[in-house]
Structure formats: C-alpha cells, structure tokens
Amino acid sequence: MTASERAHALLNRVRALHDEWARLTRGLDEEAVHAPSGLPGWTRAHLLSHLARNADGLVNLLTWAKSGVETPMYAGEAARDDDIEKGAYRSAEEIAEDVVASAARFVEVAASMPDDAWPVRVRARQGREIPAEFVLWLRLSETAIHLADLDLGYDFARVAELLGDEFEIVVGNAIGMYGGELPSVLLVAVGEDGTRHEWRMGTGEPVTLTGSPGEVLAWITGRSDGSTLDGTAPPLPHWL
C-alpha cells in the first residue's frame, strides 16, 4: 500500500470513532459533562475540550504537509492548556457541537490531502519528526484511548478490541510519546486467541511484562500501575 492508501484506510477507522464520540457526547447532560473523568483533575468537559483542540492541532500538521508552510500543532503548551481549561466551562451543548465540528474539520482536511503530501515530514507536539501519514495514527490513538478516560463504560479491553489490527502501532506510538529514557522492558500482549505482540523498551537486560492487550494498553498510557501484568512493572517516567 502507498502512504496515501494507508492514510485513507486509517481515516475510515477515525471516522468510525468520531461517530462514536458524537453519539456519546450528544447524550450527556450538564451534570454528566461536568462530572469527573477518569483523568486526575479533569472533568469530562476538560477531556472533550482537549479532544476538540487535538483535532484542530492535527489539522495544523496536515496543513503544514499540504502547503509546505510550517504550522505548529499548538501555539505553545500554555496556550494549549488555557484553551482546554476555558473550554471546560461551556455548556454541554456547546461542548458537543465543538467535538463534532472539530472532528468534521479534521476529516475534511485529511480527505482533501494530495497523495504526495502524506510522506511529507512535520513535527508533532513533542518535537518528533513524523510523516503526515502518521497524523492519522495520532488521531486514532487519541480517539480510542480517551474513550476509556470518559468513564462511561469503555474499559481498555474494549478499546484494544476497537483498535483491531491497529493496536500494535498504537502501543508503539504511546511508547514513542514518552520521548525520554524508558525502563528496560520487554512488553508482551497476548490476546484471547493467542495472538502475541512484543515491544522492546529502554536498554540493558529487560524485565518481561506480559498481559492482555487491554492491560498492556492501560499500563503504557499511564492509566494503570501495571499490577495486573505478569512481572514487576517499573514506574514510567511520565505520560504526556
């Protein structure tokens, strides 16, 4: 498959997750929207505002690849945080409209990308250089992982199931997002059907950690301390 073919296949997966978010978001009343999410210090309104601004930030990266004009994902970390904080105090209706509209903007720009723009390299939020094609992986990761953070019945087992064949790359992307030095780990996910995925982290003799896809995804994204994994999970440095 070409980069363009891979990107459009991923875009179809992103569209499906956007539809799920639209359904969930439109079903939340004021009390539910402003209740705590699964992320410490964030309400669901914070999380939904973050998801909308993430879509806009990724549109900036696609625009960069398409136009050749450098367009950072965010104006800066402080601006990103301020936008999320301010957005969290809107009404449930305003937040739902923002989530849906920002998702639509992302899909529109991604669908309009010329084939030769997908390999163009841009810089993600942490400074990593990535091809524009990988922007679709970033959006897929955000829209899948944060379903569990909403605390509305999606656990990480369900999220891993929704990711399907993309699960392996999403975990690899989560590892890459740490940026700094990671503990030396051989991370192994074993599915119910015996399907096995492995990722090597850090340097030196690794500790082997084994678990279900959901358990592995929860640990590598900082949502679990790893106590459900087979093996002693070392602490992760941080989650961005």
Both 74 and 19 in a single domain? yes
Q: Are residues 143 and 41 part of one domain?
A: yes
Alpha helices in the chain, H assignment, sequence order? 3-26, 30-33, 44-67, 77-87, 92-111, 133-149, 156-163, 167-177, 213-220
Name the band, by pLDDT with cuts 50, 70 and 90, for residue 69.
very high
Contact between 209 and 186 under an 8 Å Cβ cutoff? The reply is: yes
Q: What is the pLDDT of residue 239?
A: 61
Both 9 and 30 in one domain: the answer is: yes
Judge if 149 and 167 occupy the same domain: no
∠ CA 129-56-126 to the nearest 5 degrees?
A: 30
75 with 175, same domain?
A: no
Q: Name the one residue in this structure whose structure tokens are 């279900």.
A: 212
Shared domain for 38 and 60, answered yes or no, is: yes
Both 39 and 71 in a single domain?
A: yes
Q: In the chain, pLDDT over 70 holds for what percent of residues?
A: 98
Report pLDDT for 115.
95
CATH of the domain at 116: 1.20.120.450
Q: Give the DSSP letter of residue 70.
A: -
The pLDDT of 63-89, averaged and rounded, is: 92
Range in 30-39, 93-102, 117-126 the model is least confident about: 117-126
93-103 mean pLDDT: 98
- Give the predicted TM-score (pTM) of the model: 0.90
> pLDDT value at position 188?
98
Residue with the bigger pLDDT between 47 and 236: it is 47
Is the domain of 17 the same as that of 135? yes
Q: How far is CA 166 from CA 10, 47, 151, 207, in A?
A: 9, 23, 23, 25
In a domain, 19, yes or no: yes
- Is residue 235 in some structural domain? no
Residues 29 and 139 in one domain: yes
For residues 28-36, average pLDDT: 97
- Sheet with 185-190, side-by-side order of all strands: 196-201, 185-190, 207-211
pLDDT of 240 higher than 70: no
Q: Are residues 119 and 68 in the same domain?
A: yes
Q: Is residue 232 in a domain?
A: no
In the predicted structure, residue 216 carries a pLDDT above the cut 70: yes
Which of the four pLDDT bands, split at 50, 70 and 90, describes residue 79?
A: confident
Give the list of residues 6+ apart from residue 97 with CB closer than 8 angstroms, or none: none
Arithmetic mean of pLDDT, 90-103? 98
Question: Is residue 129 located within the same domain as residue 178?
Answer: no
Q: For the chain, what is the domain count?
A: 2
Q: Is residue 237, in this structure, part of any structural domain at all?
A: no
What per-residue confidence (pLDDT) applies to 171?
A: 93
Of 106, 135, 154, the one marking the end of a domain is: 154
pLDDT at 238: 61
pLDDT of residue 3: 85
Domain boundary, last residue among 154, 172, 204: 154
Residue 126, pLDDT > 80, answer no
DSSP annotation of 88 reads T
**182 and 133 inside one domain:** no
The bridge status of strand 185-190 relative to strand 121-123 is unpaired
Check whether 217 has a pLDDT greater than 60.
yes
Mean pLDDT of the chain, nearest integer = 92
What is the span of the domain harbouring residue 20? 3-154
Confidence (pLDDT) at 18: 96
Cβ–Cβ < 8 Å for 20, 144: no
Given pLDDT bands bounded at 50, 70 and 90, which one contains residue 206? Answer: very high
pLDDT of residue 77: 83
